[in-house]
Structure 1
Amino acid sequence: MTGQLSFPRQYARTQRFSLGAPRAFTVAPDDSRVVFLRSRSGTDRANLLWVHDLETAREYPAADPAALLGGVDEELSAEERARRERSREGSAGVVGYAVDQSVQLAAFALSGRLFATELRAGDTRELPVAGPVVDPRPSPDGRRIAYVAQRALRVVEADGSGDRALAAPESDEGTVSYGLAEFIAAEEMDRARGFWWSPESDALLVARVDDALVRRSWISDPAHPGQRPVEVAYPAAGTPNAEVTLVLLGLDGSRTEVEWDRERFPYLARVHWSASGPPLLLVQSRDQRGQRCLAVDTATGGTSTVHADEDPVFLDLFPGVPAWTPDGRLVRIADEGGARVLMVGDRRLTSGALHVRAVLDIGEDDVLFSASPDTEEAAARGGDTAGERTGEVVVYRAWFRGSGDQGGWEAVGERPRAVHSAVRGGEVIALTRATLDRPGGTVELIRPGYDGAKRPRESVVAEISSHAERPVITARPRLLPAGERRIPCAVLLPEGYREEDGPLPVLMDPYGGPHGQRVVAAHNAHLTSQWFANHGFAVIVADGRGTPGRSPAWEKAIRDDLARVTLEDQVDALRALAADHPLDLDRVAIRGWSYGGYLAALAALRRPDVFHAAVVGAPVTDWRLYDTHYTERYLGDPERQPAVYAANSLVTDEGLAEAAEPARPMMIIHGLADDNVVVAHSLRLSSALLAAGRPHEVLPLSGVTHMTPQEQVAENLLLLQVDFLKRSLGMA
C-alpha cells in the first residue's frame, strides 16, 4: 500500500480501533464531574482513569497505571484472566472501576493490587490488603471498599485499615467462592458481579457459588507439552450447573441466608438494591420459560414475588432491569402484544413502534432507555421506513409521572442515523454516538431542556475527545432490508467499483445468531467487511431470524431449529439482493466466527448449491459441548430432545446426513486456549469431514482464546482468509 500502514496491521494493533476511545462513563449525581477510561493513544493498551471537571472544563488523569506499577508489567490472577475473557476485555491498565454514590471515591484493581482514587483531587493510593484483588467496589457512603481475594469476600476501610474477610470458603477444596459470578452468569447472563452493597452501606448481598458438581474441562496447549492443562468448570448442555445461593452479610458480623425456590428457579440472573425499595432478584427456571422477580426481606432472608413471567418459547434478559422507581414502582422490559416494551408498574410506557433494548437510568419522573425502531411494525404501515431505520439504536426518555402535557417518550440528542448509548448523572447525560459516515464515535455531555415553544432541545456542555486512530480505509455500507421477510442487510462493494466492471464474487460475512447484531448504523462495525470488499468481493452481512433488535417473534423463531432457520435466511437474503446488486452467484463464499463459524460450516455442508467455499472460525459444531444457559434456551434439554440436538449438529450422523455434494473448500480456524467454544468442536468436525472423505484445511492457533487479541494473530488471520477465499473461488 505504497508505504501506508496496511489495514490488517492497523486493525490488529489498535484492537479493532477500540484503543484510545473513551468508555465506561460515570456522571456524578451533582453533574460536577465525569469519570471514564481511555488510553493515551490508539495503539496504547493501558487505560488510565480520567476525570472531566464540568465546572472548570479541566480534564486530567486520576490514575496512571504506568506510574502506579513503576513500569513493571501487570500480573493477572486466574480469576482476573477469566473475568476479562468473559467480558472480551483485551486492553490493559485500568480495565474497570467502581465508585461511591457521590462519585468522589473510585476503586480498581491493578496487577492484583487494590487502589483507591480521590476523584476531585486526582489522588490515587494503594491499600495494603490481601490479594490478588478482584472486582473492588466502594460502599455508597465511600467509607469502605469490598473486594474478592482468594475466593473470599473481604472489606477494608477506605484509608486501608481494618481489612477483614466477611465470608470465606468453608474448605480448601477450591469449589466454593464468595462474591464472584459463576461462568454461566458472566458468559451468558451479562451478570459479571457477585456482590451488592446496601444503600445504607452497612451490609452486602453476596453470591455463594459451589461448582463441585460442574463437569470439568481441561484446556491444554499442545505447543507446550510440558505445561499442565488448565482445569475449567464448564457446564455443558444437560449437565449440572454451579449451585448459586445468596447471603446477606452485615458489617456487624451477621449472616442471613436468602431463600427462594432454587429447585424451580436455579438461575440468579439479576440483583438490584437501591434506596427506592427492598433488594430485587430476578431468578429463572432451567428451561428459561419461567422467571420471578422477587423482593427480599432483609430481616429474615425470605422473598416474595413482585412479578412473574411465563413464555412458551423462552424469556430473555435485559440490561438495567428489574429495578425500582424512586416512588417504588417496578421497572421492567416485557414482551407484550408482539412488541418489546417498557413497563413501569402496570403502565406500558412505549408502543410497538419501538423495540426496547435496555434501561440506562431511572430518574425522579422518567426512564432513560435505548431502543430500535420496530421494523416489522414499520413494514406493516407501508413505505420504506424500515429500510431508512435499519441498524439504528436511539436513546429515549419516557415519563411515568409529572410529565404534564408531554406524555410518551422523546429521543435524547440529535437523531442522525446512528447507534447511541448513554449514562446519566443528575441532569447531564454522557451520550455516545457512532454514525455510518464518521469513523469511531463521539461522546457529548448534554443537558436536556426545552426551547421557547416547549420543544425538546439539548445543550452540549462538553465533548470527550477520542484518541483512537482513524482507519486507513473507509467503510461504505448500504443498509437495507432484503426479501419478503425484510432481513436487515449491509452491502459493501469494492472502493471505486463501477457497473461496467461486471458482477462480483460474493462473500457472506454474518454472525447470524442470537445476541449478535452485525447490521448496525455505525461506520467501524463494517471496516473488516469493507477490507474484504476492496479485495474484489461484494460483501453481504445479513441479520436473519434469531438476531436481536427486530421483534420478539424474530428472535424466538429459531427455537429448536437453529440450523435450518438461520441458514435459510442467509440464502434468502443473498438471492433477494442479487436482483439489484452485481452479484456473481456462481462464486459465493461465506466466513464467520463463533456462531458465524457454525453458520459458515452449515452453508458449505448443507447448501453447496449456493455456497462454494467457507471460512469456519471457532464454530460450535456439537451443541452438547456448549454451555447450559445459552444452548438449552434454544434447543431445550438434550436428554429430552436428542433429535433436536442431532439435527442441529454438524458432526452427528443425523447432522452429517444433511451434508450434500459437491464437497466445498473449507478452512477451519480455532484457538487452542478457547475456554468458551473449546477446540474439541473443530477437532470433531475435522474428524467427521475426514471420515466422509471431504477435503478441508485446519488452522490451529496456539495460545489463542475465543477473542484472538494477539496482534500478529489478528493481522495474519485476515490475510490468510482472503488468500484462501481467492484460491477457492478462482480469483486472480
Structure 2
Amino acid sequence: MNYLKFSLFVCLFISLSLIAQTKKISLEEIWSGAFRTESMDVLHSMKDGQHYSVFNFDRTIPATMVDIYDYKTLSKIETLVSSKDIQEINYFTDYSFSGDESKLLLATEEEQIYRHSSRGVYYVYDLSTKTVQKVSDEKIQEPTFSPDGTKIAFELNNNLYIKDLISGELKQFTFDGEKNKIINGISDWVYEEEFAVVRMFHWNSDGDKIAFIRFDETDVPEFSMDIYGKELYPQQQVFKYPKAGEKNSKVSLHLYDLKEDQLTDIKVVKACQDFYIPRIKWTNRSDILSAQYMNRHQNELDLWFLDTAKNTSTLVLSETDKAYIDITDNLTFLNDSSFLWTSEKDGFNHIYHYSKKGDLINQVTKGNWEVTEYYGYDEDNNTVFYQSTENGSINRDVYSVKLNGRNKKRLSKSEGTNSADFSADFTYFINTYSSASTPTEYTLNSASSGNLIKPILDNDVLVEKLSEYGTSKKEFSTINVNGNDLNMWMIKPVDFDPSKVYPLLMFQYSGPGSQQVSNSWFSYNDYWFQYLAQKGYVIACVDGRGTGFKGAEFKKVTYLNLVKYETEDQISAGKKLGALPFIDADRIGIWGWSYGGHMSTNCLLKGNDVFKMAIAVAPVTSWRFYDTIYTERFMRTPQENPDGYDDNSPFNYPELLKGDYLLIHGSGDDNVHVQHTMRMVEALIQADKQFEWAIYPDKNHGIYGGNTRLHLYRKMTNFLDKTLGDKLNQLQKEDRKVESKLKG
C-alpha cells in the first residue's frame, strides 16, 4: 500500500514536471514584453577612465536618472541627475555630456521623424549649480555642445543656430532653410536612411568654427502619403524622395567662423558634379577638416583634407571598386596626424594605417575574415581594439592588436556574439555577450588580457522563466547550395520525432551585407519561431549569396542583379530541405520583411514547385520605386541597367503565382512605400490570381504601435495554420488516435 502511494506520487510528480516543461508560449506574451532581456542603457565611459554612467528608469517614483558607477567595484557611486529633482522636467529620455563633463544635455518630449531622426525639447543641466537651462522653446534637432561646453549648436526649421549658455544669446547663422527645398546641417531623407547619418554639422576642436553640409532638394521629386489619423479629413505628408535614376539633392560644404561671424564655401576640384558627401570630420588640427566624397555609382571614394585657414584642399586617399564601396565611421586620427581607416580592398574588411599624407604605413589586420567593429586606439600602449569574425562568420569576438599588426589577442572568451564598450583610458571594457543558448550578459573585463574582473548583469531570471516552456535549440550548420556552403540554422519541435514529417517555414532577409544566421540571443521573431515550433512546425533560415561577413566576393556577386542569385539560393535550399525525411515537401513556406518580403514573393513565383505559400511584409516589388543611394549602389541606374531592375520585379510576372500568398504593408511607410504593394496587388488582380492582403493604417516600415504587432503576428500565424497547417493538424489528430488506442 505504501509502495503504491509512493508510485502514484512519483508519477504525479513526473507528470507535473512534464507539464511545467511544456508550457506554451503565447503571442500575447511575446508582444507584451514578457521575455524582454535586461540591458544597460546609454552607457558612457567617464573621462577619468574609472567610472561610467548609465541611463536608468525607476518605475516606482517614476523618474529617469543618470547614475554613476565605479569600474573596479561596479557599485553605484551617485545619481548624477534625476528628473524628480528638476521641477521643469517630468522625465527625460536621453542624455549626453559636455566635453568637460560639467554639463548634461537632457532630451524631453522627443518625437520620431524618420528612422534615425527625432526632434525634442532640450535642457542643459549644470552639475555644479544643479540648475537647468532650456535650449529652445521650440522642438529642435541634434543639439550639440561646443568643445568647451559654453555653447550649443542646433537645427530649427532647416536652419542652424548657436545658443550661448553663459549670456543666453541665440545666434542664427543660416537663413535660407525651407521645407522641401533647403536643409542646413541635417541630412535629407535618403542620406539619413542609407548613410545612417542625421547631424551634418560639426564643431572644430577650438570651438570657433562649424563645418556643415547644405542640401538643396529643390529638384528632387516629391512623394506624398495620406495620413488617415482620426479627423474628418486625412492629412497629406509630402517629402522629397529621390527614386532610382531621379535627381538627388545638390550637396555643398560650408564653414561658419564664429569669431568673424562669416560663412564661406568649401570646395574641392571634382570632375563629376553628381556626388555624395556621406561623412565630414575634423582632424586633430582645428583648421583641417576631412571630407569623404563618393561618385553617384558609389564605386569611388575620395578622402580630402581641407585647410579652412588657407581655403585649400588636398586629396589624401582614393579607393575604387568594380562593384561598390561601403561607408563606415572608422576614420580615426592619431596624435601624429596619421590615421586609421577600414577597407575591403584585399577582399575582406580590415584596418589600415596611413600617414597624414595618405601613404600606406601598414595593414593592421589581415586574414580571410572581417573586422566588424572598430573600438578605438590606445595611444599609450600603441594598441588597436576591434571586433571580428575570425572565430567564424556567425560569431563575434573582441580583439586587440599592436599598431604594427603584431601581438594580436582574443580578449573575449565565450563563443557567440561579443561586443565591447571600453573605458576612456582603455583599462577596462564592458563585454556584452550572448549566444543562441545564452541571453545577454554584461561583464567587466581587463582590456590588456580580456580576463573577467566581475559580472555586472545577467538574464538568469529569463533563463529560469524560459525553462518552464521547453524551448527548442537553434541548430547551426551549413548547407551546400549552388556550389556554396551557406550558413543555416534550424529550429525543430521540442518533441521532434525523426520518423514523422513536419511542415517547413523558411525565414530570410537576404539583403546585401546582411546576416540572419548569427550565434546570438533571441529576437522577437525567434520567440515567434519557438511558438511555431511548439505548434509542430520546423523553421529554417539560410543566408544565401549576397549576405555579409564572408568576404567581398561572396557579398558582391549580386551586383547589378539584386534578388536573382538570392532567389535561386532560397529555392535550391528549399528543395534540399524538402528532401529530408522529416520534412513534408508539399508543405514548405517562406516569409520575410522588406528586402525579405521581396525575396519571399519572388521565391513563391519563381519557385512555385517548391514553395506552397509565402508571406511578404512591407516588400519591395520593383527597385525602380526605391531610393537612389541604396538601389544604385547595387544596381546602377534604371537607365543603365533596365533588365536588372525588371527581370526580378514580381509584379512583372504575377501569372506565376500558384500557392497561397499573404501581402502586408503599412500605409505610412516612408521607406518602402505602399505603392510597392498596390502595384503588386493590381498585377495579381489583372492576372486573376487569388491572394490575401492587409494594410495597417498610418504604420511605418516597422508596423508597430499599440496592438499592431500582436495583430500582425496573429494574422500571419493564422495564415500559416490555414495553408501549411492543414496536413499538420490532420497528422496530429491521427497521432492522438494512435496514442488513444495504445492507452486503451
TM-score band by shorter chain is 0.7 to 0.9
**Structure 1 position 726 matched with structure 2 position 721:** yes
Out of 502, 505, 514, the residue aligned to residue 504 of structure 1 is 502
Change (3 A) 1:435 1:161: same
In the other structure, the counterpart of 1:27 is 45
In the other structure, the counterpart of 1:151 is 158
Residues 446 and 452 in structure 2, CA contact (< 8 A), matched pair in contact too = yes
**Structure 1 position 260 matched with structure 2 position 297:** no
> 1:464, 1:316 → 2: CA distance?
35
Residues 280 and 295 in structure 1, CA contact (< 8 A), matched pair in contact too = yes
One-letter amino acid of the structure 1 residue matched with residue 446 of structure 2: R
**Structure 1 position 302 matched with structure 2 position 312:** yes
Quick one: percent identity of the two aligned structures? 21
Out of 337, 362, 372, the residue aligned to residue 389 of structure 2 is 372
> 1:45, 1:467 → 2: CA distance?
26
Deviates more, 1:360-369 or 1:675-684: 360-369
Change (3 A) 1:459 1:631: same
In the other structure, the counterpart of 2:212 is 206
In the other structure, the counterpart of 1:411 is 410
One-letter amino acid of the structure 2 residue matched with residue 689 of structure 1: L
Residues 443 and 452 in structure 2, CA contact (< 8 A), matched pair in contact too = no
> 1:270, 1:507 → 2: CA distance?
41
Out of 302, 310, 319, the residue aligned to residue 292 of structure 1 is 302
In the other structure, the counterpart of 1:51 is 68
**Structure 1 position 8 matched with structure 2 position 5:** no
Deviates more, 1:240-249 or 1:283-292: 240-249
Deviates more, 1:718-727 or 1:60-69: 60-69
Aligned with 2:330: secondary structure? coil
> 1:246, 1:350 → 2: CA distance?
33
In the other structure, the counterpart of 1:712 is 707
Out of 271, 274, 289, the residue aligned to residue 280 of structure 2 is 271
Out of 32, 36, 47, the residue aligned to residue 17 of structure 1 is 36
Where do 1:455-604 residues align within 5 Å? 456-460=449-453, 463=456, 472=466, 474=471, 476-483=473-480, 484-500=483-499, 502-525=500-523, 526-577=526-577, 582-604=582-604
Change (3 A) 1:503 1:728: same
> 2:39, 2:54 → 1: CA distance?
10
Once the two structures are TM-superposed, the CA of residue 137 in structure 1 deviates from its matched residue by 1.5
5+ residue gaps, structure 1: 75-92, 374-387, 450-455
> 1:337, 1:203 → 2: CA distance?
38
Residues 43 and 55 in structure 2, CA contact (< 8 A), matched pair in contact too = yes
> 1:68, 1:7 → 2: CA distance?
41
Aligned with 2:553: secondary structure? helix
Once the two structures are TM-superposed, the CA of residue 321 in structure 1 deviates from its matched residue by 2.2
Residues 185 and 199 in structure 2, CA contact (< 8 A), matched pair in contact too = yes
Change (3 A) 1:648 1:9: same
> 1:150, 1:223 → 2: CA distance?
24
> 1:307, 1:110 → 2: CA distance?
41
> 2:431, 2:144 → 1: CA distance?
25
Larger radius of gyration: 2
Out of 111, 116, 121, the residue aligned to residue 113 of structure 1 is 121
Once the two structures are TM-superposed, the CA of residue 398 in structure 1 deviates from its matched residue by 2.3
CA RMSD of aligned residues (A): 3.1
Once the two structures are TM-superposed, the CA of residue 276 in structure 1 deviates from its matched residue by 6.2
> 1:16, 1:144 → 2: CA distance?
43
> 1:558, 1:124 → 2: CA distance?
56
In the other structure, the counterpart of 2:331 is 322
Residues 574 and 611 in structure 2, CA contact (< 8 A), matched pair in contact too = no
Residues 476 and 530 in structure 1, CA contact (< 8 A), matched pair in contact too = no
- 1:158-217 deviations in whole A, cap 9, x for unaligned? 45722222x323265652222212212211112232111211222221222221111111
Out of 334, 352, 374, the residue aligned to residue 343 of structure 1 is 352
> 2:674, 2:141 → 1: CA distance?
28
> 1:535, 1:65 → 2: CA distance?
46
- 1:211-254 deviations in whole A, cap 9, x for unaligned? 11111111113565602211121111111112222212122213
Change (3 A) 1:27 1:494: same
One-letter amino acid of the structure 1 residue matched with residue 505 of structure 2: L
In the other structure, the counterpart of 1:685 is 680
Change (3 A) 1:216 1:723: same
- The number of residues matched between the two structures is 676
Higher relative contact order (CA 8 A, sep 6+): 1
Residues 71 and 444 in structure 2, CA contact (< 8 A), matched pair in contact too = no
> 1:15, 1:369 → 2: CA distance?
34
Once the two structures are TM-superposed, the CA of residue 466 in structure 1 deviates from its matched residue by 7.4
Residues 281 and 295 in structure 1, CA contact (< 8 A), matched pair in contact too = yes
One-letter amino acid of the structure 1 residue matched with residue 477 of structure 2: L
Change (3 A) 1:114 1:716: same
> 2:696, 2:58 → 1: CA distance?
30
> 2:24, 2:46 → 1: CA distance?
40
Change (3 A) 1:458 1:161: farther
Residues 594 and 672 in structure 2, CA contact (< 8 A), matched pair in contact too = yes
Residues 280 and 322 in structure 1, CA contact (< 8 A), matched pair in contact too = no
Aligned with 2:496: secondary structure? coil
Residues 287 and 636 in structure 1, CA contact (< 8 A), matched pair in contact too = yes
Once the two structures are TM-superposed, the CA of residue 421 in structure 1 deviates from its matched residue by 4.1
> 1:468, 1:298 → 2: CA distance?
56
- 1:295-354 deviations in whole A, cap 9, x for unaligned? 121214432111101111111122x32232232222111123322221112211112242
Once the two structures are TM-superposed, the CA of residue 282 in structure 1 deviates from its matched residue by 1.5
Deviates more, 1:260-269 or 1:174-183: 260-269
Change (3 A) 1:140 1:564: same
Normalization by structure 1: what TM-score? 0.85
One-letter amino acid of the structure 2 residue matched with residue 672 of structure 1: S
Once the two structures are TM-superposed, the CA of residue 577 in structure 1 deviates from its matched residue by 4.4
- 1:243-294 deviations in whole A, cap 9, x for unaligned? 2222121222132322124644621112222426832211111001111011
> 1:47, 1:486 → 2: CA distance?
48
5+ residue gaps, structure 2: 1-18, 110-119, 355-359, 730-744
In the other structure, the counterpart of 2:668 is 673
Once the two structures are TM-superposed, the CA of residue 575 in structure 1 deviates from its matched residue by 3.9
